[in-house]
Amino acid sequence: MTSRYYVGLHTVLLTSLLIGCGPTEPVRVPVQGQVTVDGQIAEGGVVRFEPIGEERGQRRASTMVSIIDGKYQVKTGGGLREGRYRVEVEVQRKTGRKITKRVFDDVAEVDETALVSSPLHAGKDSPLEYTAESAANLQFDIDVPAQ
């Protein structure tokens, strides 16, 4: 009776250890900040984080978030995986005019916007970089020049 007890106990412990040794999810790092153009709060637009220097293993994905009233936020759940990123910023301003735009199968009237930030900072040649680290400062403010 005692030997069956120990065999059962060993089986439970071994199973627990093996389950605990499975693959772990990559660390996700939140980041947030304020976006300005020549020191002035950005009305709206987008911030993209593009991975730099991919290493072996799982590839990191690009992340894009909206700028709303000068602020952006990448939350933990969809956060950046640890590593280096090129930061691309497009700041838009409403022109005051309406335009007709196709949205899926419908046509809608929307506010026209114009790029007010530097085109250099909006693409693959952007000089801005951010390193996502779990122990790092999670505040990353961005100031880009105007066009």
Closest alpha carbon to 126 in 86, 91, 92: 86
Residue with tokens 């996502």: 132
Of residues 37 and 6, the one with the higher pLDDT is 37
Does CATH place domain 2-144 in 2.60.40? yes
Dihedral angle over CA of 131, 132, 135, 140, nearest 10: 80
* Residue appearing with tokens 């060993």: 10
Three-state secondary structure call for residue 4:
helix
Of the candidate ranges 7-16, 39-48, 62-71, the one whose mean pLDDT is the lowest: 7-16
Looking at residue 116, its pLDDT comes to 94
Tokens of 48: 């993209």
Q: What is the mean predicted confidence (pLDDT) over 13-20?
A: 51
| Domain residue extents for the chain | 2-144
Mean pLDDT over all residues of the chain? Answer: 84
- Residue 36's DSSP bridge partners are 41, 143
Predicted confidence (pLDDT) per residue in 79-119, tens digit: 898 889 999 999 999 999 999 988 788 898 989 999 999 99
For the chain, the helix, strand and coil percentages under 3-state DSSP, each to the nearest 5: 15, 50, 35
Which amino acid would we find at residue 80?
A: L
**Whole-number pLDDT of residue 86:** 96
**pLDDT tier at 64 (50, 70, 90 boundaries)?**
very high
